[in-house]
Amino acid sequence: MESPNQRIISILRANGVKTELPCPRCNADGFVHFEGYYALPHFSDVECKQPTGDSLSCIVTACRRCGHLSYYASHLLNPTPSQEE
């Protein structure tokens, strides 16, 4: 049985994420995956000082050299049955 972390990596690869490509910022090879899912808070507009309470669930990877972050919307990569309709 896959661990949650292995499952996330499998989801990225199954959706065409090419882990062998270099970093788009520094051209280095090698990314790390942050375990689990992360939530980006939603703000209603640019003037808003507080998040609305809604968030976007993301899978996050980072370049091993420069730290460039890449975010993947988890609901698009691994939709629940109700989201697939």
pLDDT in tens, 5-42: 788 778 888 888 887 789 999 999 988 888 888 999 98
pLDDT, tens digit, 9 for 90 and up, residues 61-70 = 899 999 999 9
Q: Assign 85 a pLDDT band (cuts: 50, 70, 90).
A: very low
Cα separation, 67 vs 31, in Å, equals: 9
Cα separation, 37 vs 46, in Å, equals: 25
What type of residue is 23?
Answer: C
Instruction: Look up residue 17 and give its DSSP letter.
Output: -
What integer best gives the mean pLDDT of the chain? 84
